[in-house]
Structure 1
Amino acid sequence: MIDAPMILTLALDDSAQDFFNALRKEHFPVERNYLDAHLTLFHHLPPEETSIIESIEQVCEQYQQMQLQVTEVKSIGNGVAYQIVCTELMRMHKHLQQQWDTWLTPQDRQKLWPHVTIQNKVAPQQARLLKEQLAESFEPFTTEGTGLNLFAYQGGPWQFIKHHPFSV
């Protein structure tokens, strides 16, 4: 049984995951970088609600792999992220929000801003310089969301629970 809050992320195809992991490894503060790059959908799902896992399985059967547009490098104040655009992802997220409404934290009730953070918790000037550097050579690209990954929050590192692939 899971006894820690659960985190739900969008699984990215291997090439995008490798790309974002390499950037995160290079630019995220070493002492805080104990996670792979990720696109978080929900930050704090209650572990005691077993129907959440059933909902994840059902939604993954209903959705196919999603085309994701990586559109720009964005400043997040003390860090840098890549913005992701995908109508299908927004639709799926909204569906899950409605289904899980009574269990969601205020953060998880907000409209989703899909992104992958590659730097955070640095001085604003350092973040601004990296954003400018990455934006200079950035070309928008397309990748795929391949499913949903569920983790348990362990007070820092996340414990992987299960990958739920989208139907192909």
Structure 2
Amino acid sequence: MSALIVAAAFGAAAQASLDRLREQWFPPERNQLAAHLTLFHALPADALEEVTAALTRVCEQPAPAAEVTGVRSLGRGAALVVASPGLERVRGQLAAGFAGRLTRQDAHGFRPHVTVQNFVAPEVARATVARLSEGFVPWPLELTGLTVHRYLGGPWEPLAHVGFAARAD
């Protein structure tokens, strides 16, 4: 059984915009996923019920505000940097519940981002970062919930989606 991945879900317009960037910049033969913001890369494969219950608890609150604030080099790719103190708090709550069972990558910290390019030569990545940075203006990113997927050696199998509570405006 493969590990479980937890990601933030985007509003439809944000998802479409981010997917277009991946289609533009990601090597087509390696682009097997929709744009995503991963919170956990490898939670225990046998913990689906526990993970879903934890997501349900943290999603009882309204969606945290988020903003795409810049572009970051990944060395062999490029990512959009996401600022969201609320999402960082949500992730911290979830991480506390899985303490002792997190991989080193997931225990190391959280730098929210959406990868729009990967698996390219460093000079190609540098050019992409420069191009995406030209005239960059921060923009709000709608977060609608959290999702759970099973890693299938490349593609992800969607298993659960938990939406954030509606805002009481």
TM-score (norm 1): 0.95
Q: CA RMSD in A?
A: 1.0
Q: Which residue of 2 aligns with 1:51?
A: 50
Instruction: Write out per-residue CA displacement over residues 59-110 of structure 1, whole angstroms, 9 at most, x where no aligned residue.
Output: 111x211211110011111110000001111111111111101211111102
How many residues align structurally? Answer: 165
1:7-156 superposed matches below 5 A: 7-49=5-47, 50-61=49-60, 63-156=61-154
The answer on whether the counterparts of 2:52 and 2:160 sit within 8 Å (CA) in structure 1 is no
**Matched residue SS, 1:102:** coil
Take 2:75 and 2:36, find their aligned partners in 1: how far apart are those partners?
18
Take 1:119 and 1:143, find their aligned partners in 2: how far apart are those partners?
19
Gaps of 5+ in 1: none
**Which moved further from structure 2: 111-120 or 41-50?**
41-50
Shift of 1:154: 0.4
The answer on whether the counterparts of 2:36 and 2:115 sit within 8 Å (CA) in structure 1 is yes
Gaps of 5+ in 2: none
Take 1:155 and 1:91, find their aligned partners in 2: how far apart are those partners?
29
Instruction: Write out per-residue CA displacement over residues 18-64 of structure 1, whole angstroms, 9 at most, x where no aligned residue.
Output: 11100101110111101001000000011212322211111111x21
Task: Report sequence identity in percent.
Answer: 39
**Which moved further from structure 2: 67-76 or 113-122?**
67-76
State the one-letter code of the partner of 2:50. S
Take 2:11 and 2:136, find their aligned partners in 1: how far apart are those partners?
19
